Structure 1
Amino acid sequence: MITVSHLQESLSIGYVTATAAAARINLSIKREHDYGVDGTFLAMAQRLQGIDADGNEEYRYVESGTKIDFQLKCTTNWEFRGANVAWKAKAQTYNDLVSRPAYAPLLLVLMCLPKDANDWLSATEQQLILKHCCYYAELTGPTLANENSSKLIEIPRANLLTPDAVLTLLSEMETKLAGMF
């Protein structure tokens, strides 16, 4: 039997994997060594490969080069505060998130699970239900000097991690990068 934290990690990876698949993008997850980045969303581009015998265009897909790194967290210690989801991040996590340059941000992806582990996942022939969901945020600000402290993070509930949201984030990143060069 795996630990509760490994179970939570696996469920959050499952959520992100399913979301990336539905967005039809590539996903790199679980680096060989942990240096604060848990995964990367990688945008795809369609390239004309040629014309088939019937005169139809044939395409292949390649990574476009646009990417967004993310730090994946999973917790039962969260709450709704009006239009936001509130969660306390440890200083090390917070500092990792805010210390990246603007051209290469580190997105927080926060999986919010119910308090009761029996409510986390249910499966039937018709559906697989994983409760609750993931939210995302790009955090900015000064780092915390005290590594033993924490920072209350409030993420807008509108920042629900969905396939469309991931595609929008990648499109915004592409636009941001194009304006820098």
Structure 2
Amino acid sequence: MITREHTQESLSQAYVHALAGVASLNLAVRTNYDYGIDGAFHPVRIVGGVRVPSAFPVEYQMKATIDWRHYSEFVVYDLDARAHRYLTNREPRQAMAILIRLCLPPDEAHWLDGCEAQLRLRNCCYWFRPAGPPTINVSSVRIRIPRANVLTPDALRGIMVLARAEGSL
């Protein structure tokens, strides 16, 4: 059997793969030596009748957890301080980076179920772009993600538009 953490990671990867496909984005997932970035979304353009990756990817760090809660209009949890630094300590003109958080129910038996009509992964992923500067905290930093930041195909397309606008400045 794999670990509970590996199961959570598998579920979050499946969620992101499905969304990227529906959003018509190419997905590059890092499988080793990720150094805080788990993958990147790449828009695809047609140049001279050929599909090519855009020069404006969005990198992401992905986490799945049962340790989260809704508080008013936010999803609140404590992010590892090192993870916060990966996302905020960016070089000028470096690709935009976002956090993707899969919020799972506490009971593992409720994470995923399916039947002939559907496969259902419980709860959702939220996306967040932490503001800098990088935290000086040693262990964690409290994150408040607006509940409106549900990661959907439309949300991904909007994030890609933002990345292109910022990258072309």
Place the TM-score, normalised by the shorter chain, in its bin: over 0.9
Q: Is the 8 A contact 1:31 1:37 kept in 2?
A: no
Q: Select the residue among 127, 131, 146 that pairs with 1:140.
A: 131
RMSD: 1.4
Q: Is the 8 A contact 2:102 2:124 kept in 1?
A: yes
Q: Structure 1: state its 5+ residue gaps.
A: 50-59
Large movers: runs of 4+ above 6 Å: none
Question: Shift in Å at residue 102 of structure 1?
Answer: 5.8
Matched, 1:122 2:103: no
Question: Shift in Å at residue 98 of structure 1?
Answer: 1.4
Structure-2 residue corresponding to 1:23? 23
**Partner amino acid, structure 2, of 1:69:** E
Structure-1 residue corresponding to 2:141? 151
Task: Give the number of aligned pairs.
Answer: 168
When normalised by structure 1's length, the TM-score is 0.88
Matched, 1:65 2:51: no
Mapping 1:26-45, distance limit 5 Å: 26-45=26-45
Question: Shift in Å at residue 177 of structure 1?
Answer: 1.6
Mapped to 1, the partners of 2:115 and 2:73 lie a distance apart of: 32
Q: Deviations over 1:66-120 (max 9, x none)?
A: 2000000110000001111001011111111111146323210001000010100
Matched, 1:97 2:96: no
**Partner amino acid, structure 1, of 2:21:** A
Q: Structure 2: state its 5+ residue gaps.
A: none
Matched, 1:74 2:72: no
Distance 1:48 1:34, change over 3 A: closer
Mapped to 2, the partners of 1:154 and 1:10 lie a distance apart of: 24
Higher Cα Rg: structure 1 or 2?
1
